[in-house]
Amino acid sequence: MTLEQMGPQEIERRSMEIIEEELRAMGPLPPADRLAVVKRVIHTTADFDYRDSLFFSPGAVAAGVEAMRAGAWIVTDTNMAKAGVNKAALEKLGGRVLCFMAEDRVARTAKERGITRASVSMEAAAELDTAGAPLILAVGNAPTALIRAWELLAEGQLSPALVIGAPVGFVHVAESKELWLEAPCPRIIARGRKGGSTVAAAILNALLYEAAGRNIG
């Protein structure tokens, strides 16, 4: 079958097969509960370093899937990550995805206090009334968002069902992620400098597909 004859689903299915074949050649596969997340991040980035750099707290994937099935509200730190979430799968489960970064009130507050909009957006997440729905934070760009979320958690102002930490860059990025390695909540962290909005969205989508029953590897 030529590439022209393959539809998007067939291309994705074959891509996942190739990824798993290459992962097997590298050594033992990641644990079964984490494999779909690892594969989807690699599928998005073509970067096999994520095989080893993705950190999962015990039960993090199960917690994320459970939250998705309960109609989770997802707050991201970029509109790119928000755009990358599969809306059909999310709507099927009654969830929502939000990003406060472009809101006037966030920009105004950040300017008045001399802090980043990403930090203020995490404060906005802490103030959300989700009507009982679980809250998932997905940080794919700003280390200040991840740091502020950690502070809010420590202060008892934030209680997320899952935190996805995947900011990318060089200044305080790796350090912001290390804060979360011992945090008292479920978390999936892309350790080191690598990450990005596409990685955050890929992790969210892997959890969504599992929750919605879409099994494509």
Rounded average pLDDT over 134-163: 97
In this structure, is residue 36 part of a structural domain? no
136, part of any domain: yes
Instruction: Please confirm, yes or no, whether 43 is among the known catalytic residues.
Output: yes
Q: Is residue 17 part of a domain?
A: no
Is 199 domain-assigned? yes
CA atoms within a 13 Å half-sphere pointing along the CA-CB vector of 198 = 9
From the candidates 43, 82, 117, 194, which is the catalytic residue?
A: 43
Is residue 193 in a domain? yes
In a domain, 194, yes or no: yes
Residue 9 counted as domain residue = no
pLDDT in tens, 67-116: 999 999 999 999 999 999 999 999 999 999 999 999 999 999 999 999 99
Domain count within the chain: 1
Average pLDDT rounded to a whole number, residues 165-191: 96
pLDDT at 4 over 70: no
Is 122 a domain residue? yes
* CATH code for position 205: 3.40.50.10230
pTM: 0.94
- Domain with 105, as residue range(s), is 52-212
pLDDT of residue 10: 86
pLDDT tens readout for residues 31-41: 999 999 999 99
Mean pLDDT along residues 56-72: 98
Cα–Cα distance, 210 to 130 (Å, whole number): 22
